Chains A and B, each alone.
Chain A
Amino acid sequence: MAVIARDGYVDIVRDKVENFHGNQLVYVGWDDHLLFSAAQAFPLPPEMPYQALVSEVMASVFGDHPEFAQIDWSTVEWVLDGVSFAPDMEKSLKDNGVGHKSLIRFKTPGLTGINGTRL
């Protein structure tokens, strides 16, 4: 439904991809690790290899968690925008289907957070 306003609205999409200087927004959330209270937001080039997302970008934030170093990446379960997927680590974010404002969630089987508390 259209906005209810007397004078109408100018068409401003504040977060369109063009506003991010060549980057796109990507959100990454680590399931069952609520020590990070929310998924994290990153501005990333669409050409960035998925491997770099994992070992540089994600490590820069999630690396502070003691379980991050224990992750067996071959068993990680990935969900992209609500759908399970198997990323190709060598390919870019874009070629893996990661778009502007995509949400990537990952689950790390066997790792259940600090003392098993899902933190």
Chain B
Amino acid sequence: MPAKKLNLRKRYELLTRGMGWETTYQKMDDVFPYDSFEGIKITDWDKWEDPFRLTMDAYWKFQAEKEKKLYAVIDSFAQNNGQTNLSDASYLSAIKLFITGVTPIEYAAHRGFANLGRHFRGDGARVACQMQAIDELRHQQTQVHTISHYNKHFNGLHDPFYQFDRVWYLSVPKSFAEDAMTAGPFEFITSISFAFEYVLTNLLFVPFMSGAAYNGDMATVTFGFSAQSDESRHMTLGLEIIKFMLEQHEDNLPIVQRWMDKHFWRAYRLLALVAAMQDYMLTNSPMSWKEAWDVYFVENGGALFEDLSRYGLRMPKYHELATAEAEHVSHQVWSVFCSLGNATGFHTFLPTEEKMAWLSEKYPDTFDKYYRPRFEYWAKQKEEGTFEYQKGLPQLCQICQIPMIFTEVQTDPMQISYRVTEHGGDKYHFCSDGCKDIFEHEPEKYVQAWLPVHQIFQGNCGGPTLPEVLEWYKFAPEDSGDYIGSQDHARWQEWKGADKKVKEA
């Protein structure tokens, strides 16, 4: 009879306890120099426990299995020209924004967790962070691999990582990731694992990926769900680290609460891009941004924070405003992209009559009143041939780096929300109290922000004219502008026309 297998708890303990030790040649504080300056007090790292208790052998086994399944789907997608089964090629604008805006964050998260996997003093936490670092690298690689198939047939997918470091709207995800990476390890993990992954990534990976399935993109839905299965583990790690910090010392509560307030707001602002993807860029949306917000933030986030209230933690500051904005942000973000569509690396398009009817139904209090008129006006101008892209460059928020497009939704939704503060004799402008608070707490950090519009004016982005800047971004002329009349559109029509002919024959 074979020896009885050790139980899960025991195997997990063997993996994560006793692998580390109290150092004697060097002081522990010198070996782990980064885990105390933030003020978080840990008295007993052994109290750390990962609820998934995933051991290394099980990790490799299950991850290998996931990869096999994913690559089988990717191969068959490519062999069967899966791209021709999309609902419409305009849908790919969402994928272009995904590969340039989200995939590089996966890579940044990989770097961040690799760093934590070295620098946390507790071995249990280190093992969890090392696994997550490998997961994040896997996500980045599988996304690049999957989407590379579209790169064979469509424009705008050629240089995501280069563009991430330069393009005006990609500074939004870049600055979010770098804010976390330049903080200490506890703040980083609160930002990425808790505020982003637990509280908010469901909004990206569940309804958006379900939307990919709804639009015939089986490749994306497969990598999305494959990544999200890791994400469930990461979310659990996020929740665990919050509980761990709060249980370890009462002095940790105000620090954790402030991080929660900050990183909820930062991650929420970043998701404004996802709101536009969900409502406008998906040809057919299974769920509106507002509906997703209600299910995954109001209901689920509410339950989560109620659970954490026993530690004294409250809902993140300005969450009520975020909920009020849920009826507005997708429309506001898509409007700014449409008005600057000659400077985006994906195609823009006005919502069709059918889409606008859906938006009216999903947003009965806001779409017809505030947003339909601008899309109809632009549609009329396009019909008459008088439409012009906006000629100037927008004012940006110093923190989230999104153009200052957000409005006073609780009092006057047609009034831009302007906030300002002074530091060191200079003015700094913000889109919201949430962003302003973040600046005022650590102004020395954010006076360094690399704001794309200002960088263009300083002469650091290829030249003063739009074509020079776009060339510096490595945007080819065929990447930008209206979907209608683009090369992508022409190719799509050619395929669909060929399809039609076959059917008719």
Which of B368-424 touch A at CB < 8 Å?
373-374, 377, 388, 390-396, 403-405, 407, 414-416, 418, 420, 424
**B495 at the A interface (CB under 8 A):** no
CA distance A28 to B415 in the complex (A): 14
Range, interface on chain B: 35 or more
With contacts A38-B405, A64-B391 known, is A4 near B184, CB below 8 A? Answer: yes
Which of B310-339 touch A at CB < 8 Å?
332, 335-336, 339
Contact assessment for A32 and B420 in the assembled complex, using a CB-CB cutoff below 8 Å? no
**A60 at the B interface (CB under 8 A):** yes
Q: Inside 8 A of B392's CB, which chain A residues have their CB?
A: 36, 40-42, 60-61
Q: Inside 8 A of A12's CB, which chain B residues have their CB?
A: 447-448
CA distance A3 to B403 in the complex (A): 25
Contact assessment for B394 and A37 in the assembled complex, using a CB-CB cutoff below 8 Å? yes
Q: Mark A36-58, 1 if CB is under 8 A from B, else 0.
A: 11111111000000000000000
Contact partner of B391 (CB less than 8 A), chosen from A4, A61, A99, is A61
Contact assessment for A39 and B394 in the assembled complex, using a CB-CB cutoff below 8 Å? yes
CA distance A67 to B309 in the complex (A): 53
Q: Give 11 pairs: A residue, B residue, CB < 8 Å, sorted on A.
A: A6-B184, A17-B426, A25-B454, A35-B339, A36-B392, A37-B336, A38-B394, A41-B396, A60-B391, A61-B390, A119-B377
Chain B residue, CB-CB nearest to A102 = B427
**A85 at the B interface (CB under 8 A):** no
> Distance (Å) between the CB of B439 and the closest chain A CB?
11
Range, interface on chain A: 35 or more
With contacts A13-B426, A25-B457, A101-B429 known, is A41 near B393, CB below 8 A? Answer: yes
Contact assessment for B416 and A3 in the assembled complex, using a CB-CB cutoff below 8 Å? no
Q: Inside 8 A of B391's CB, which chain A residues have their CB?
A: 60-61, 64
Q: Inside 8 A of B187's CB, which chain A residues have their CB?
A: 4
**A91 at the B interface (CB under 8 A):** no
Contact partner of A37 (CB less than 8 A), chosen from B34, B39, B403, B420, is B403
CA distance A89 to B390 in the complex (A): 26
Contact assessment for A27 and B426 in the assembled complex, using a CB-CB cutoff below 8 Å? no
CA distance A27 to B416 in the complex (A): 13
Contact assessment for B373 and A36 in the assembled complex, using a CB-CB cutoff below 8 Å? no
Contact assessment for B395 and A35 in the assembled complex, using a CB-CB cutoff below 8 Å? no
Q: Inside 8 A of B459's CB, which chain A residues have their CB?
A: 21
Contact assessment for B37 and A6 in the assembled complex, using a CB-CB cutoff below 8 Å? yes
**B458 at the A interface (CB under 8 A):** yes
Which of A1-24 touch B at CB < 8 Å?
1-6, 9, 11-17, 19-21, 23
CA distance A31 to B417 in the complex (A): 11
Q: Inside 8 A of A21's CB, which chain B residues have their CB?
A: 458-459
Contact assessment for B373 and A115 in the assembled complex, using a CB-CB cutoff below 8 Å? yes
Chain B residue, CB-CB nearest to A8 = B444
> Distance (Å) between the CB of B186 and the closest chain A CB?
11
CA distance A82 to B64 in the complex (A): 59
**B451 at the A interface (CB under 8 A):** yes
CA distance A60 to B33 in the complex (A): 54
> Distance (Å) between the CB of A84 and the closest chain B CB?
15
Q: Inside 8 A of B414's CB, which chain A residues have their CB?
A: 32, 34, 118
**A117 at the B interface (CB under 8 A):** yes
CA distance A13 to B182 in the complex (A): 17
Chain A residue, CB-CB nearest to B34 = A6
Which of B26-40 touch A at CB < 8 Å?
33-34, 37-39
Chain B residue, CB-CB nearest to A13 = B447
Contact partner of A3 (CB less than 8 A), chosen from B396, B415, B444, is B444
**B504 at the A interface (CB under 8 A):** no
Contact assessment for B450 and A82 in the assembled complex, using a CB-CB cutoff below 8 Å? no
CA distance A25 to B458 in the complex (A): 10
Contact partner of A114 (CB less than 8 A), chosen from B377, B407, B450, is B377
Q: List 20 additional contacts besides A37-B336, A99-B427; criterion CB under 8 Å.
A: A3-B445, A6-B33, A12-B448, A14-B448, A15-B447, A16-B426, A21-B459, A23-B457, A31-B415, A34-B374, A35-B339, A36-B339, A39-B418, A41-B394, A41-B454, A61-B391, A100-B426, A105-B418, A114-B373, A118-B414
**B308 at the A interface (CB under 8 A):** no
Contact assessment for A39 and B445 in the assembled complex, using a CB-CB cutoff below 8 Å? no
